Structure formats: structure tokens, C-alpha cells
Structure 1
């Protein structure tokens, strides 16, 4: 066993930020990614193993080569709508492939695992802010796939001693403060980069899906957390596992929410550009308010978000969007 950290999905949005943070903290890092949605250049020179974690032969070679002290798993399909029309893809990639990875870890004696989970495991909130005790009732295959893995991890801990930390994100946003990394999803489905693409001229307008919710301005409220703060929470959780800590589950958010309209106004304020808005119908399954209670992570990990201000999140994402827009033909 080495002291390397294996980051699965490390060429994607959050995984790449994690790779950069780990290397800055002095950890040797190896990345595994099939590059179906990740980007080779995003690993910033870290060793990259290209392959599918659902392939047991690839996983066996990977773990034998890296011999990691811990595995961090970010390699999931994440589009809620797609999961409804193609659930097989989500159960195959998010659940079955994760089990192949876990069984490979068992075979190679790797017993520490950090899992990128989601607020979607909670389904329609019964109360907000949402704490870890909130009932788990996912309403789409994406959320169910993540909840299945969380339950699998509980069973693997009891049966095999494989310790894990599941970190449940609310709305990841922002970009690397140094401008090297940011969101590159195709198609893009997240609000902040979509609005910024309007500001940069890459989109004609932003669609607001419903303005008759029971919120102050009628639009949905979400808890936006900076991707750099997510990486910091993972790093703190990793250190606890390496020091012998027990398995744990944490919600990650800032504990306050911003409406769709407030995000659009923040983009106008930060960029100085107009953002045309088109109002559309509500989307099925969009709760009015999703806000995290992240006190458990703050207390157990000593985690403190450093970029909680919406304008800061938007400013970092705007620097990345300008870089991307400038590179287009």
C-alpha cells in the first residue's frame, strides 16, 4: 500500500478540482477516468489511467498499479432528466460499476472510500434546511442510484470493514479561484454556467422554469456551494479516514439559499452584461426550496466554507466562462 490517493472521475468538474487540491496538500495522486464527460487536460498533469471502472480487469490492473491508501469516487452520471428516460444507464454506471470498484478494492486490501453523493437522495423535502436525519425518498433514478450506493457502503462496512464517507452535495457551483479549472458539461444543465453563457453571448437567453412558487420572488431557491469548498470538505474527510476515523455521512451546503432570480441578478451585477429572461413552465419534480443543514460537517470535520458569497461564486465562474468563450472559434 502506498500513500497515493486514487481519484475516480478525476477529469470531471468536481474531480479535477479535487485532484488539484490533493496535490497542493502534498498527496501523490492518480486519476482514473473514461473521458466520456471528463477532459484529459483537466487533470493538470496528474497520472491518468483511461478506462471504465465497470470493467473488473481494468480495475484490477489500476489498483495493482496505484496501490492507493484511499479511493475518491466522482465518476457518476448526473442528469436527472436523462435518468428518467434512460434509467439503465444510471444503474449500470452509478451502481453496478461502483460495486465492481468496491470489490476490486476488497481484493487489493484498500479499505477507505470517499463517495460523491447528492441531495437528490432526499427527494421532495419534508422540511428545510435538510439535515442528515431527513427521510431518504429519491424521486428519480439518479437519486435512487446514489442512495443505493450509500446503502451498499453501509453493508460493505459492516461485512468487510470498508470504511466510507458519503458527501451529499446540494448545488455545486463556481470555478477554481486561480482560473485553471471550471465546468465543461455537454450538455450544460446547471444554472450558474447557463446564465453566464448568456452574459458571454454564447446563449440568447436564460429560461426560468416557473415563477409562481411559494418563495419571495416566485422562483425556486437552491443552496449553492463553491466547488473549492466541496474539495476542502473531501480533503478533511479523507484525513479523518486516513487517521482511523469511522464511516460517516455529511450534507454539504452553505445553509442559505438563493432564488433563480437572485442568481440572474448576481450575474448581471458581476458581469455588467444584460441577461435576457424567458419564463417557461414549471419542471416536474422541482421543489420550491432546497437548502442544506451542514452543521454536522462543520462540527465533525472542522469544515468552514470560504466562498459562501454568491457574487464570489459567480465571479470565479465568470472568469472561467470568459476563458472558454475566448477560446471558441
Structure 2
């Protein structure tokens, strides 16, 4: 692991009093339990990518299930299609969790990014009072000035022996002038009742532990665990006309009508064909 645990470039981690640092000890007391999922929580000042760091630890056998790595600043965060994710120090939540769902058939592991999305949206709704919608497969959306904006994303990667690292990035306190692109959003711009990242992170981690436990107890069955129905209920993509940019420079336009049992998005074309999409970039073509 090569995170930089030193002072910010300006020499003080208290340089922005609206963005205090996370309290690692308090987070551990709040979420690490002997009978719980989380084994440890590490907070580092700066790193390239919490996912890359935790995957490397898992590959070396130096991390157990439930290890959590949080960065106050990510300089090379990654999303799907290797897109970059960056934000000012302490302006968001950037963290990764190592999961080892041994009880679940590998064929069902594709639900883990969707499960994480449900858990994050649920936790943010409770702790921040912000209605967070899900864009298939792994974007978190909020409403800013009547417009749908992306405020977060999720990335899952295989790690070590039988492990998956799920990474989450959420814009919490980014102001309008700090947004990476005009289409982005943040919790504060969406009217969050609070932007204290400690209770937000605790709520999200507890929600993830709850949903992961349900899913694992059901051997990954998305119906029995309630995951499929809950994701569909919070998915802003379903019922929309979308364009799917697919591998091989192929695109598909139609209505997103359902999620199948593998978590794929089912798109109905104007020709009456229903095609499941398991990977690709989804563009919403009209408002809900």
C-alpha cells in the first residue's frame, strides 16, 4: 500500500474548517464489533485509489474480510471504463471494503455492485435526508435544481483468493464551482440536512453490513434476499428510454423494462426484442 499519510500540500489538515477530518477511532468504535462484518477501519490522508490499495493487500494475503480503507483524498480514483474520479480533500467519502462471500455461488457475485448501491442509497437517505436514486449499474443520482445529477459511483474488483473489493466514491460537500463537470452533483447541493462525514460513513457501512448479511444468508438469491425488488424500486433507469453503449462499438436503444435474475438490464427495442445487457455505458435519453 502506498497511501500518503502526511500533511496536505498546504501543511494542515484543518485548512478547511467546513471539512474536518474523519475520526478513525470513533468510526472503529461505532462499526467494528466482534460478531460483525468489519474487522478494521483505516483512514489515510491521501492515496491514489483505495480500491487499488485494498486489492493489493488482499492479493498479498494481508487483509481479511471486512477490512475497510478510507481516504480523505483520492488522486487517482477509478470508476467504470477506467474513468478518473477526483475531488478536493475531505469533500467526499472515498472508501473500499473487502468482501469474501464464500457461501454465495460465484455466478451471483455480479449482484455485489447493485447491492452496494442499494446499501449506500439507503444509508444516505437515513443519515442525510437526501433521496438518492440508482442509475444502472453503479451510479448514485441526486436532484439538484430539478435536474438529475451524478453524486457517486461504485466499482467492484476481484481480489485475492475468493474476495471482492467494492469501492465507493460520494461527493458530499462539493460546491458548484468545485464540480468536475456541470452534470455532477453533491449531497450539499441536493439539500442534505448535514454534511458531517462521520455519521454519513457510519450509516452507509451499517447499511452495507445489513444488506450483505441478508444476501449472503440467502446464498446470493436476489429474490429471497429482497435485493432485486429493492434495487428495481430505487432504480431511475427502469422505465426510461436509454441508449446502451456496448462492447464492440455496438449500441442499443430502447426502454429499460426490468432487471433479470443475474442483475442485467433488460432493454426492449422498438422491434419488440428484449435484450439483457450485462455490461455497457447507459445514457438516459429522456427524463423520468
TM, length-normalised to structure 1:
0.27
Q: Normalized per residue, which structure has more helix?
A: 1
* Greater relative contact order (Cα < 8 A, sep 6+): 1
TM score, norm. by length of structure 2: 0.29
